[in-house]
Amino acid sequence: MDFKSVEKKWNEYWEKEGINSYDKEHPEKKYYVLEMFSYPSGSNLHLGHWYNYAPSDSFARFKKMQGYNVFQPMGFDAFGLPAENYAIKTGIHPEDSTKKNIATMEKQLKSIGAMFDWSSLLYTCSPEYYKWTQWLFIQLYKHGLAYQKQSPVNWCPSCNTVIANEQVVDGKCERCGAEIVRKNMTQWFLKITDYAEELINCLDKLDWPEKTLTMQRNWIGKSEGGEVVFPMGDDKITVFTTRADTLMGVSYVVLAPEHSLVDKITTPECRKAVEEYKTAASKASDIDRLSTVKEKTGVFTGAYCTHPISGEKIPVWIADYCLATYGTGAVMGVPAHDTRDYEFAKKFGLKINRVIKSKDGSPDELPYTEYGVIVNSGAFDGMTTAEGKKTILAFLNKKGLGGVKINYRLRDWSVSRQRYWGAPIPIIHCDHCGAVPVPEEDLPVRLPYDVNFTPDGQSPLRKCESFINTICPVCGRPAHRDPDTLDTFVCSSWYYLRYPDSKNPDKPFDPKKINKMLPVDKYIGGAEHACMHLLYSRFITKALRDMGYLDFDEPFTSLVHQGLILGSDGEKMSKSKGNAVNPDYLVEKYGSDVLRLYLMFGFSYTEGGPWNDDGIKSISKFLDRVERAVDVAITRKGQKVDEKEKRELEYALNYCIKKVTEDMETFSFNTAVARIMELVNTMYKCDNAGDLYFETCEKLIRILAPLVPHFAEEMHERMGFKPSIFREKYPVCDESKLVKDEVEVAVQINSKMRSKIVIPTSLSEEEAKEFLLKNEKIAEMLGGAAIKKFIFIKGRLINIII
């Protein structure tokens, strides 16, 4: 078969007949299939994109043939750092390179032959889109979900610019090798923490991979504990702890080096050491700081606070294992019952006070971090850990020195980027009125084209006078725009809401439309987004719901992660390693149907694996084999059917339909293809199935249609049916054809495989026992021994314990 002309023929036909587009008249049967959109960084689609999109498209087509009205849109996540870096290196403007890349990728996407609804195409970098990203930011601001605060960034003193985590290699700037320091800057944050509780609770109702749910739960990191206040003259230090029961064992308190009290409380004699320590800490990443193998470091501030119960003087230290971003940025040190505190106290000679003993006298060497019974704690002695936590926090609460507190590891979402290639933050800073949102009628705040974005210490937009200078929309006095752009995760946190109404000039979306079309029924993308993109999207959906713009709680009902296709060397594909595989060449050589079927058959979809094209030829051969079966079927049409072959073929067909339907539903494409191959193998053994052969072949082609759409459409037509096969129904299994009178079961004696035996399917356990004991071979193996236990697994196995 000449696949090139076949692919062209049917792509044109589908386009002309509107086979791929969503039918707006029937939203009641909608099925929204969405693949994570691509970032146009490289100049073309790689095999990984194909692996995401082609099998997902087969799933979408499967759903369409099951009678759903499928909506499958496509777009580009087009803002971001790589385009900007590329521009700094080559001088090619991000807008130009991005547009060019998108054009190439669009063409390639069309070569997949996927049923994307191109009429709803969107790019996040177009003003028609980012106008509404800005609108979203303003709504969040107006509802108290966006605020500014000081926060550290990676600062390269030599390039004189903020650099991304990715560009920091071993604490040094990737570009110039200078040592990176962390520097505080005022930045915008979104209050995702307001939704922490709901973001955890709603996970239970999502059809998502278990591992992703676990990762999100851990990322949000709910921990129930309490706050304890350590007074300090006019000031106080508040710590968060999950072990209030160990409060009487506190021997020191630690502040994060960035804690706001540090400068104030440090005594003159300690100042030099504290300053040096702060500088050193600003160079370490959080990952290094939290390492449990690294030796603990810290310095004494010279200051003391007061124990809230005993009134004892407690020394205040700073140490980098305490992070400013978690809890209150301060922890109490209980060396006897915390591993990190124990190491710290040992190193710096701080007191170690045991206040917990094991309940049952089992070994409880220090540091003893298990739960137990309280000792050496005055009135609290004898209480269990659980009682102690409650009692101590209640006691503190009465004194106004603490109480129960739930803490989350989740931090607010930092969205300011000191970059050019992003959506400008729609805020005007006025000396008189403060931060003022740009009026909605003035949106979008356009990203100017002619900007010098070479790094030199400032956000690129700050240097663009025509952009930065404006007037305050409230008081009319001169003011300046926010010079930063939004994190691209903001753009991608709501795109699934725009697709169903992507050309709407007046609103980001029509609530009526999206309330019908969403949530997304099946969302497909890489597991690398498990925590960030997926969590941000959930947050934005909930925030918009609470503002009244939509009426569902979760954006993605069901989620699937495709695995990663690696280079043939087992490494992640990348240009620099030279192991990237170009799908265009494969499409050219084998055709898009063969490539997509190979991707589905050769890998476990959720696992992925190293690329290897050894088997791709066999897929071509398999389709040739199917084609020959079709030609044979045509010659046998109307012929008589042999009874024995009839039963065999009917069983094979219905078994195939049943299994493939289940496998398609769960994205188990490799086993689906295997079951289809089995059916074809059976068909090749049938020489006298006549008309039934033709009928089987007709169904086979329909089962294949979602997997190899062009090929199937061609075969369907060749068999004399009217196109399009995608208007036909997916075959349904006839269970009655799967009933068998006899079944082969395994026979084990003392759990060892001994034999196999064919027994009537309908036998009960008792009947099976009787049947088995009558069998000479089995009786011989048992040798007359008494049966202790008889285990019967219907249709599978019998185990006799003697």
Partner RNA sequence: GCCCAAGUGGCGGAAUGGCAGACGCAAAGGACUUAAAAUCCUUCGAAGGAAACUUCGUGCCGGUUCGAGUCCGGCCUUGGGCACCA
Which of 332, 410, 438, 587 binds RNA (CB under 7 A)? It is 410
Q: Is 637 in the site for RNA (CB under 7 A)?
A: no
Of 1, 474, 746, 782, the one binding RNA (CB under 7 A) is: 746
409: which residues sit within 8 A by CB, 6+ positions away?
A: 218, 219, 220, 221, 222, 223, 326
β-strands 485-486, 427-430: how paired? unpaired
Binding residue (CB under 7 A) for RNA from 9, 411, 589, 718: 411
* Pair 257, 278: CB distance under 8 Å: yes
Q: Between 470 and 748, whose beta carbon lies closer to RNA?
A: 748
Which amino acid is located at 28 in the chain?
E
Contacts of 680 (CB under 8 A, 6+ apart): 622, 625, 626, 629, 700
- Binding-residue total with RNA (CB under 7 A): 97
CA-closest candidate to residue 593, choices 1, 3, 2: 3
Tell me the two tokens of residue 495. Answer: 């795109």
Name residue 745's beta-bridge partners. Answer: 757
Q: Which residues of 295-320 are buried (b: 16+ CB within 10 A; e: fewer)?
A: ebbbbbbbbbbbbbbeeeebbbbbbb
Choose the binding region for RNA from 404-412, 500-508, 549-557, 730-738 (rule: CB under 7 A): 404-412
If one asks whether residue 284 binds RNA (CB under 7 A), the answer comes out as no
Between 366 and 564, name the residue whose CB sits nearer to RNA: 564
Of residues 16, 89, 729, 752, which one binds RNA by CB under 7 A? 752
> Interface residues for RNA in 547-566 (CB under 7 A)?
564
Q: Does 793 bind RNA (CB under 7 A)?
A: yes
Least distance from RNA to the Cβ atom of residue 412, Å: 8
* Residue closer to RNA (CB basis): 304 or 536: 536
Relative to beta strand 75-76, strand 122-123 is parallel
Can you state the percent helix, strand and coil of the chain, rounding each to 5? 45, 20, 35
Contact with RNA (CB under 7 A): which of 95, 198, 387, 678?
Answer: 678
Q: Counting contacts by CB under 7 A, is residue 77 touching RNA? A: yes
Q: Is the CB of 152 or the CB of 231 nearer to RNA? A: 152
Return the number of the residue (193 or 384) whose C-beta is nearest RNA.
Answer: 193
Instruction: Give bridge partners of residue 742 from the DSSP assignment.
Output: 760
> What is the DSSP pairing of strand 797-801 with strand 299-306?
unpaired
CB of 604 to RNA, least distance (A): 3
Contact map string, positions 478 to 507, toward RNA, x by CB under 7 A: ---------xxx--x---------------
Confirm or reject binding of residue 770 to RNA (CB under 7 A): no
Residue 49 in contact with RNA, rule: CB under 7 A = no
- Spatial contact of 3 and 712, defined as CB atoms under 8 Å apart: no
**Residue 56 interacts with RNA (CB under 7 A): yes or no:** no
Binding residue (CB under 7 A) for RNA from 418, 541, 654, 724 = 418
621 binds RNA (CB under 7 A): yes
Q: Can residue 101 be called a binding residue for RNA (CB under 7 A)?
A: no
Residue 282 touches RNA, criterion: CB under 7 A: no
CA count, 13 A, side-chain hemisphere, 105: 28
Residue 633 CB, nearest approach to RNA (Å): 15
3-state SS, residue 426: coil
Distance CA 316, CA 281 (A): 17
The CB-of-638 to RNA minimum distance in angstroms stands at 24
Strands (E) located in 472-563: 478-481, 485-486, 522-526, 559-562
CB of 14 vs RNA, minimal distance in Å: 29
Cβ(514)–Cβ(528) under 8 Å?
no
Q: Considering only CA atoms, which of 136, 144, 129 is closest in space to residue 435?
A: 144
**Cβ proximity to RNA, 722 vs 752, nearer residue:** 752
Q: How far is the CB of 726 from RNA (least distance, A)?
A: 25
- Binding window for RNA (CB under 7 A); candidates: 88-96, 310-318, 332-340, 622-630: 622-630
Say whether the peptide bond before residue 367 is cis (omega within 30 degrees of 0): yes
What dihedral do alpha carbons 665, 667, 670, 673 form, nearest 10°? 30
Enumerate residues 319-378 that contact RNA by CB under 7 A: none
CB closer to RNA, 273 vs 564: 564
CB of 60 to RNA, least distance (A): 21
CA distance 544 to 110: 33
Q: Which stretch binds RNA (CB under 7 A): 258-266, 273-281, 414-422, 634-642?
A: 414-422
Stretch that binds RNA, among 173-181, 415-423, 543-551, 717-725 (CB under 7 A): 415-423
> Does 742 sit near RNA (CB under 7 A)?
no
- Measured CA to CA, the distance from residue 254 to residue 44 in angstroms comes to 51
Based on CB atoms, which residue is closest to RNA, 219 or 552?
A: 219
187 forms part of the interface with RNA (CB under 7 A):
yes
774 binds RNA (CB under 7 A): no
| Spatial CA neighbour of 610 closest among 641, 655, 577, 639 | 577
By CB under 7 A, residue 601 contacts RNA: yes
The answer to the question of residue 25 lying near RNA (CB under 7 A) is no
Report angle CA 681, 50, 603 to the nearest 5 degrees.
45
Question: Is residue 674 close enough to count as binding RNA by CB under 7 A?
Answer: yes
d(CA 216, CA 210): 10
Within 208-227, the residues that bind RNA by CB under 7 A are: 210-211, 214-215, 218-219, 221
Number of Cα atoms under 13 Å in the Cβ half of residue 565:
23
Out of 685, 720, 734, 765, the residue judged to bind RNA by CB under 7 A? 685
Q: Are 597 and 708 in contact (CB under 8 A)?
A: yes
User: Which range in 90-98, 388-396, 530-538, 760-768 contacts RNA by CB under 7 A?
Assistant: 530-538
C-beta of residue 518 within 8 angstroms of C-beta of residue 496: yes
Closest contact distance (angstroms) between CB of 652 and RNA is 12
Q: Say which residues have a Cβ less than 8 Å from residue 263's Cβ, sequence separation at least 6.
A: none
Among residues 17, 235, 744, 767, the one that binds RNA under rule CB under 7 A: 744
One of 301, 306, 668, 724 touching RNA (CB under 7 A): 668
| Residue (414 or 557) nearer to RNA, CB | 414
CB 261 → RNA: shortest distance, Å?
23
**What is the rounded CA–CA span in Å between residue 110 and residue 15?**
11
